[in-house]
Amino acid sequence: MSISFSEYGGDRMNRKIYRRWLIVIFAVYLAAFFYYLSYWIQKAIPDVWRMTAGQEETLDFNIPLTVQTDGVSIPAASINGEKVPSNRIHLNLSQPVSVNIKETGSYKVSVSCMGVRLKNVKVDVVDEIKVMPLGMPVGIYIRTKGVMVLGTGDVTTFEGSRITPAKDILESGDYILEAAEKPVISIDSFTQTLKNWEGGELILKIWRNGQEMNVRITPVRTDDAEYKIGAWIRQDAQGIGTLSYVDADNHFGALGHGITDIDTSQRIDIRDGNLYQSTILSVVKGKNGSPGEMIGNIDYKYGQILGEIKYNSENGIFGTLGDNVNIYDESQALPVGLKYEIKKGAASIRCCVDDEIKDYDIEIESIDMGNFAQNKDMVIRICDEELLSKTNGIIQGMSGSPIIQNGKFIGAVTHVFVEDSTRGYGIFAERMLNENVE
């Protein structure tokens, strides 16, 4: 049997194409492998890892992978009972890892596999922190930074035409800080500036997406002989929430999530605010598809002010209780449980849905160690029959209710699942405690 030159050349060409496809498939497979590997590493290992100095902790990542960590040498550190010999450590993440670092400080560590760097981690070793979990209902009143723009609309001019002066100049979520170089501290102050306007271009200083800027707008004389800019504005916000904790210096944290505007869904930039004593009058039970709520009375009398709200962040509202408000009790304070200490299973929440602050049984169903979902670090389920009979689960106003497990304050309730009122989200306590209220 003989093979012609053309047949042999064609066979060799097919083998080359086949090898190329194998290389392409292997490269795609390898890229996909490292993509999913990186995803699970990102999900299981947070960007910032906090540990308590001198306390042996067991970390259980449950990832079938052996990795290498590189970083600065960590003094007085041991892993699995053995002193760390160098700044290069091999870890089997499929098995629990016991870590003990005795000296406080911040350390940078990189995690790699087969020579590919997957993640950089900052390790913060801190002294034990204690706070007093509260679960106390409070009235919340905040004042915005300037006045908030909700939207723009038409106005009728003195001549009878319809125009929108603020269109393409002001945006929903803007804050008007100054008008004609005069501070805007309330709707009344802004309205007064417009009442005194005599025509022409008006310069507004606004706050937009974290930046100050000036815009020019021409107020129009309307059919009621007043000048208007055609913008809907809002000044203050108020409601009922739960005080999560207070520390020995009277610093408090509440809600576990930021206060957002009901119309724009944006977190409100505040000038200041206050906490007030509040009484729960009644409860509207939650049901699937319709969250319930606490209905309460807020006492706005000056003598009933509990504290000052200093800022409104993604992780809650924070501030300082008044000097005459002596809530903190060292005997009732608990250590703050860091996220790696939290386990799936039994825990409790502390809240007040009638006239008494009580602890109720819950179950922690899942824990997200990554930073993918702001203030949605845990999924919890209410399993306490008494609380279920009162509320059917988590209701509006319970945001901020402290979560306690194994004698430690580990987080706070933040959201309810609209389609299942027995379940909701919680935020890690360390995320809230990381906010600085000084």
**Cβ atoms 400, 309 nearer than 8 A:** no
Q: What are the φ and ψ backbone dihedral angles of 354, each rounded to 5 degrees?
A: -140, -115
Quote the CA–CA distance of 305 and 409 in Å, as a whole number.
Answer: 26
Quote the CA–CA distance of 424 and 415 in Å, as a whole number.
Answer: 5
Q: Where are the domains of the chain?
A: 1-44, 48-126, 130-140+236-433, 154-229
The predicted structure's pLDDT at residue 110: 73
Structure tokens at 169: 């100049």
Q: Taking the domain 154-229, which CATH number applies?
A: 2.30.42.10
pLDDT tens for the chain, residues 1 to 438: 444 545 555 666 677 777 777 777 877 776 776 676 666 666 667 777 777 777 777 777 666 666 666 555 566 666 766 666 555 666 666 677 777 777 777 777 777 766 667 777 777 787 788 999 999 999 999 988 889 998 888 888 888 888 888 888 999 889 999 998 899 988 888 988 888 888 889 999 999 988 999 999 999 888 777 889 989 888 888 889 999 999 999 999 999 999 888 777 788 888 889 999 888 888 899 888 888 888 888 877 665 889 999 989 999 999 999 988 889 999 999 999 988 889 999 999 999 988 889 999 999 999 987 766 678 999 999 999 999 999 999 999 999 999 999 999 999 999 999 899 999 999 999 999 987 555
The predicted structure's pLDDT at residue 1: 44
Structure tokens at 330: 């060292």
Structure tokens at 220: 């129009």
8-state DSSP, 38: H
Reduce the DSSP state of residue 349 to 3 states and report it.
strand
What CATH architecture does domain 130-140+236-433 belong to? Beta Barrel (2.40)
Residue among 59, 80, 72 at smallest CA distance from 103? 72
User: Is 380 buried (19+), middle (13-18) or exposed (0-12) by CB count in 10 A?
Assistant: buried
Q: Would the CATH topology of 48-126 be identical to that of 154-229?
A: no
Catalytic residue among 257, 313, 377, 415: 257
The predicted structure's pLDDT at residue 5: 47
Is CATH 2.30.30 the classification given to domain 48-126?
Answer: no
**Cβ atoms 22, 95 nearer than 8 A:** no
Catalytic residue among 278, 313, 384, 421: 384
Note if 377 is an active site residue.
no
Determine which helix (DSSP H) or strand (DSSP E) holds 191, and give its type and residue range. Answer: helix 187-195
Neighbour order of strands in the sheet with 57-59? 57-59, 97-101, 77-79, 82-83
Unique residue bearing structure tokens 């996909």: 32
Note if 384 is an active site residue.
yes
Calculate the alpha carbon distances from 33 to 38, 113, 119 in Å: 8, 11, 15
Residue among 250, 251, 254 at smallest CA distance from 241? 254
Structure tokens at 25: 């498939």
Can you give the pTM of this predicted structure? 0.77
Q: How many CA atoms lie within 13 A of 13 on its CB side?
A: 6
**Cβ atoms 98, 56 nearer than 8 A:** yes
Residue 331: alpha-carbon gap to chain centroid? 29
Catalytic residue among 244, 399, 401, 421: 399
| 216-223 CB contacts, 8 Å cutoff, 24+ apart | 216/169, 217/165, 217/166, 217/169, 217/170, 218/165, 219/165, 219/194, 220/155, 220/157, 220/158, 220/163, 220/165, 221/157, 221/158, 222/155, 222/156, 222/157, 222/158, 223/156, 223/157, 223/158, 223/160
Note if 73 is an active site residue.
no
Quote the CA–CA distance of 238 and 225 in Å, as a whole number.
Answer: 34
